[in-house]
Every structure is written in C-alpha cells, then in structure tokens.
C-alpha cells in the first residue's frame, strides 16, 4: 500500500472503527454483524445494495475541479438488492471542503447519498422509503469518486417510511469491476 494512501486510511479511522476492527480480528464481533464503527454488537439489521459505475458531474461554473466549494452531482441511478433485482434509486452530491489536504493533490469532500426504495415507479413517489447517508472522506483531486479498491464508512443520518428514525453506518466500496456496493448497518430504533 502506498505510504500516502496508508496515511489517509489511518487518519480516516476513528477510535470506534479501530475498536470494531480489533473485535473482528479477535473474533469478538458477533456473527453476521459485519465490520464497522462502534455499536457493532447492537446492529439490528444489515443489508446491501449495489449499482453500476458512478459518473459524477462537476456543476461548479468555471471550476477546474480542484477548488474549495466544488459541487459534484450523481444523476439518479438504479440500485439493486443481493439478487440483482432493482429496488430503488440513488441520488448523491459531493462538496469539496478542503483542497490539498492532508497532502498535495488530496481533497476532503462532504457527501450526501439518498437511497430511495421502491419497485418500478414507486421509487419516484414522494412517499417512498428513504435512507440518507452523509459524511466526509478523502478523494484524489484527479478523480470524481474514491479510487477502485477503496471504501468509505459514513453515518446513516436518518430515513423516512420504514426507515424513519434510522441510525447506524454505511460502508461504501468501489469494486474492482467499477461497480459499487453499499452495506447498511442499522442500529435498533428506540421504541417510544
């Protein structure tokens, strides 16, 4: 692994992530819970969706693509479940919040990913079930997404419909065939 990439990966790990990875390595992580930050033993449900190649569009007028405040938008794309059936769509945006940090050529981008679930035209209905993932990560300035082979862990910041009150985390992976996998780890929703 390149030293700069190793440094970025280390900086991105939080204490909670290190704890979860330690638990997983020692076998102390409960079966079926997956790897992720904090509260790993409390995961109520985990599931995965996938989608094809992601091509973001730089929408900041006059930008070279390496400026503070750059906005990249991912046009709506279908998402599939583990069997390959289309179960909804993904809408996303990324905003550059740091340039040449932590090293020259790197950027920090804050992202909002909105997963809308529903079959057929239901995934475009206003009442669809939705999960929102939001957080930040390191990106090479020369690419619109994280590189192939890398992953980001970001918090689940909420949801609607069957996901109302959702919390937890999502692991986004850019796979070798240029497709993407998002694994959601949902924590139990507090009962009222």
Domains along the sequence of the chain with CATH: 44-186 (2.40.480.10)
Dump pLDDT digits (tens) for 106-120. Answer: 999 999 999 999 876
Angstrom distances, CA of residue 132 to CA of 117, 147, 159, 167, 184:
11, 22, 6, 9, 10
Dump pLDDT digits (tens) for 18-38. Answer: 233 333 332 333 333 344 555
Report the predicted TM-score, pTM, of the whole model to 2 decimal places: 0.77
pLDDT surpassing 60 at residue 91: yes
Per-residue pLDDT at 191? 63
State the maximum Cα–Cα separation within the chain, in Å, rounded to a whole number: 51
Per-residue pLDDT at 59? 96
Angstrom distances, CA of residue 186 to CA of 59, 67, 102:
32, 34, 31
């Amino acid at each position: 692994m390149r030293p700069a990439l190793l440094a970025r990966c280390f900086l991105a790990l939080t204490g909670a992530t290190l704890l979860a990875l330690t638990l997983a390595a020692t076998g102390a992580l409960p079966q079926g819970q997956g790897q992720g930050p904090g509260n790993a033993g409390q995961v109520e449900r985990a599931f995965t969706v996938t989608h094809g190649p992601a091509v973001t569009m730089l929408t900041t007028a006059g930008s070279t693509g390496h400026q503070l405040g750059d906005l990249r938008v991912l046009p709506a794309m279908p998402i599939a479940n583990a069997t390959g059936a289309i179960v909804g769509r993904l809408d996303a945006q990324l905003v550059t919040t740091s340039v040449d940090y932590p090293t020259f050529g790197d950027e920090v981008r804050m992202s909002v990913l909105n997963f809308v679930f529903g079959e057929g035209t239901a995934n475009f209905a206003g009442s669809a079930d939705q999960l929102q993932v939001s957080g930040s990560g390191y990106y090479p300035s020369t690419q619109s997404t994280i590189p192939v082979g890398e992953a980001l862990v970001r918090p689940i910041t909420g949801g609607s419909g069957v996901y109302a009150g959702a919390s937890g985390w999502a692991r986004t992976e850019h796979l070798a065939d240029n497709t993407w996998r998002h694994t959601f780890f949902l924590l139990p929703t507090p009962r009222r």
